[in-house]
Amino acid sequence: MTAPIDVSTSDHVSTNHPHRDSGGAPLPPTLQVQGLNVYYGESHILRDVDLTVQPGQMVCLIGRNGVGKTTLLKTVIGLLRQRRGSVHLQEREVSALPPHSRARGGIGYVPQGREIIPQLTVRENLLLGMEALPGGLARNRHIDPIVFELFPILEKFLGRRGGDLSGGQQQQLAIARALLGKPKLLLLDEPTEGIQPSVVLDIERAVRRIIEATGISVLLVEQHLFEQHDRDLSLLRELGITLVACLDTHAHADHVTGSWLMHEATGCAIGLAAAARAENVTLPLQHGDHVAFGGRFLEVRSTPGHTDGCISFVLDDRSMAFTGDALLVRGCGRCDFQQGNAQSLWSSITGQLFSLPESCLLYPGHDYTGRTVTSVAEERAFNARLGGAATERDFVGHMENMKLPHPHRIAEALPGNMRSGKPRHQLEVSLPASSWAPLQRSYAGLPELLPAWVAGHRDQLTVLDVRSSEEFAGPDGRVEGSLLIPLPELEARSGELPDGRPLVVVCHSGSRSALATQQLLKAGHQQVANLHGGLSRWAAEGYPLDGVQET
């Protein structure tokens, strides 16, 4: 990819081996993307992308606006062509096929923005989905009732025009239309975008039920609110860092800040320019303010132009600065909305940022090609918009003629940022939750449980020990009643795992059990977690072990 995209996977097939046929032989991947390189003109968007989606698996691509998520889906369905690389559907290469052939081959596509036909009725929109079936509409006129089980509202509105439905109802219609083509792979591009929270939950439940009921695979693109909160909070906890403040450089138009969630979790301050006039800000900032942390501080510099509330942060020794969207790597923020002004941005960059030492490192808020750092010297020399011999007239002429599309998430993102990320409704807080245990995610994304909780719920759990037989019987001891299946034997002996009971996986330190936890999750087990710190931490916190030999 041209910029970081997080990939998460989830299996929802209820067998122990969802990627194997009835005889135990491995099934081919539903989708396999290899070495994919995609361009818009001469702009290199996707670089050497490899991706696999197994049968019955949901893979979610998460990343900021503009990093190539939608481009990948459009390439898989055939709306865009790769210059290099391949796309295989169940081992059949489809890279050269047009979109309609890929649809008939088993790929369903729900594009961003839904794209139903508003003049047609709900029934007529649904029937269009069956054009992907053998014989098309000429031989297929019966609507599979499963779509009405998943989305009951559609059955009530069969005669209503699609354009008269709400946004959430249109999204349900778009997913149902794709399902009627009986796909092997369903591509969903931001299915919860711009939809009220209660309907978001309906759609999330429906997607999971689709996988469970049909066994199809799903490749999902999402840029949901707060998607990185758990990851960032896990890193803070692992490193033992006290978070002083979450600082926003401006009110973004393409993603929602996680500042309010982090404030709720840690008590940190929420810092934003006072000029932004946003709600829930606990640390309103102005030019010249200092934000202290430890024995250091960040100096606040007002850098309007992208928006009228943009600020940058300069470290006390001027060795580095954080420039938000004012100054990017070889570029800068756009100036055509949110009170943007090219003349103001020129003054901000040349007066407040280019005045820093040439060796000062500059860290922009984001970059669409994966670059993370530049320097004052580099940007003064090579920035295509305002470096080298460029004058203010050159810069303004460039910025006023860029003709960029309007940010597609602004209707959701900007109001959310004007609340500092606080959800309008409690249902909007869609943090991953567990109905069976208070799971914590490690920075690596692994579900973990603390010894105290496990010790208090031993009668409700199966403790799975993946050490060797010698270690299990050795002087370090074991948790009373634990089940021994050494890690090398886990896959072959998975049938010995009791049904209906959550699994807590243990080893000496938590390392081997972490791998076992990953393997169990990949095999379709939903209620599984690693014991944080392993038996070593369990013993250090005073919980009993059988068979311990005194030294």
Q: Both 260 and 287 in a single domain? A: yes
Angle formed by the axes of helices 122-129 and 167-179, nearest 10°: 30
288 and 414 belong to one structural domain: yes
- Asked if the model's pLDDT at residue 227 lies above 70, the reply is no
> Is 432 a domain residue?
no
The residues, any chain, with a CB within 8 Å of residue 74's CB and separated by 6 or more, are 80
Q: Is 129 left (phi over 0), alpha (psi -120 to 50) or beta?
A: alpha
- When mean pLDDT is compared across 6-15, 240-249, 385-394, 480-489, the lowest value belongs to 6-15
CATH code: domain of residue 175: 3.40.50.300
Please indicate, yes or no, if residue 42 is contained in any of the structural domains: yes
Question: What does each C-alpha distance from 271 to 171, 289, 312, 321, 449 come to in angstroms?
Answer: 36, 11, 12, 16, 33
Give the residue from 419, 409, 309, 323 showing the smallest Cα distance to 366. Answer: 323
Residue 546 belongs to a domain: no
Last residue of a domain, one of 400, 426, 452: 426
CB 89 within 8 A of CB 185: yes
Q: What is the pLDDT of residue 442?
A: 85
Q: Examine the domain organization and report whether 166 and 214 are in the same domain.
A: yes
Q: Which residues contact 165 (CB under 8 A, 6 or more apart)?
A: 116, 122, 157, 173
Calpha distance 188→58 (Å, rounded) = 10
Residues 159, 536: Cα–Cα separation, whole Å:
64
DSSP secondary structure string, 309-357?
Answer: T-EEEEETTSSEEEEETTEETTEE---SSTT--HHHHHHHIIIIITTS-
Residue 416: which pLDDT band, with cuts at 50, 70 and 90? confident
Nearest to 432 by CA among 236, 256, 234, 267: 234
97, 204: one domain: yes
Note the pLDDT of residue 427.
Answer: 39
Contacting residues for 405 by C-beta, under 8 A, at least 6 apart: none
Nearest to 359 by CA among 408, 304, 410, 319: 319
Which parts of 166-228 fold into alpha helices (H)? 167-179, 197-214
Average pLDDT over residues 367-395: 91
Q: For the chain, how many structural domains are there in total?
A: 3
Tokens of 400: 């006023």
Give me the pLDDT at residue 391, please: 95
According to DSSP, the residues that pair with 88 across neighbouring strands are: 32, 93
CA distance 313 to 301: 6
- Whether 493 and 512 have beta carbons less than 8 Å apart is answered as no
From the list 316, 318, 289, 317, the residue with the least C-alpha distance to 302 is 289
**Does the pLDDT of residue 13 top 50, yes or no?**
no
Q: Which of 399, 426, 453 is the last residue of a domain?
A: 426
Residues 208 and 300 in one domain: no
Which domain does 358 fall in, by range? 229-426
Strands (E), 164-285: 185-189, 217-222, 245-247, 269-273, 283-285
CATH of the domain at 338: 3.60.15.10
Residue 16 has pLDDT above 60, yes or no: no
How far is 494 from 512, CA to CA, in rounded Å? 16
**Based on the domain organization, do 175 and 130 belong to the same domain?**
yes
Do 153 and 245 share a domain, yes or no? no
Q: How far apart are CA 505 and CA 420, in angstroms?
A: 39
- Same domain? 58 vs 11: yes
Domain identity same for 390 and 242: yes
Q: What is the pLDDT of residue 4?
A: 47
Q: Is the pLDDT of residue 15 over 60?
A: no
User: Does 515 map to a domain?
Assistant: yes
3-state secondary structure of 532: coil
Q: Which of 178, 194, 222 is the last residue of a domain?
A: 222
Q: What is the pLDDT of residue 237?
A: 86
Mean pLDDT of the region 174-179: 92
Tell me: pLDDT of 531 over 50.
Answer: yes
pLDDT at site 529: 95
User: Does the pLDDT at position 14 exceed 60?
Assistant: no
Q: Are the C-beta atoms of residues 269 and 263 closer than 8 Å to each other?
A: yes
> Which of 12, 48, 55, 6 shows the shortest CA–CA distance to 30?
55
Q: Residue 459's pLDDT band (boundaries 50, 70, 90)?
A: very high
What pLDDT, in 10s, does the model give residues 297-346?
999 999 999 999 999 999 999 999 999 999 999 999 999 877 899 999 99
Indicate if 395 and 508 belong to the same structural domain: no
Banded pLDDT at 12 (limits 50, 70, 90) = very low
Average model confidence (pLDDT) across the chain: 86
Q: How far is CA 140 from the centre of its chain?
A: 37
Quick: pLDDT tens for 113-155: 778 999 999 999 999 999 888 887 777 788 888 889 888 889 9
Q: Is residue 208 part of a domain?
A: yes
User: Taking 90 as the threshold, does the pLDDT of residue 7 lie above it?
Assistant: no
For position 495, which CATH number holds? 3.40.250.10
Please state the pTM of the whole predicted model: 0.62
Q: Is there a single domain that holds both residue 164 and residue 305?
A: no
Residue 431 belongs to a domain: no
| AA identity, residue 178 | A
**For strand 331-332 and strand 361-364, is the pairing parallel, antiparallel, or unpaired?**
unpaired
Whole-number pLDDT of residue 175: 92
Strand, helix or coil at 134?
coil
Q: Which residue has the higher pLDDT, 365 or 286?
A: 286
CA distances from 424 to 68, 411, 429 (A): 29, 14, 9
Distances from the Cα of 235 to the Cαs of 25, 92, 269, in angstroms? 39, 41, 18
Give the helix ranges, DSSP H, for 67-221: 69-77, 99-105, 122-129, 136-139, 146-150, 152-156, 167-179, 197-214
pLDDT of residue 174: 92
Say whether pLDDT at 26 is over 70.
Answer: no
Answer yes or no: is 551 within a domain. no
Bridge partners (DSSP) listed for residue 351: none
In a domain, 305, yes or no: yes
> Are residue 124 and residue 250 in the same domain, yes or no?
no
Higher pLDDT, 441 or 21: 441
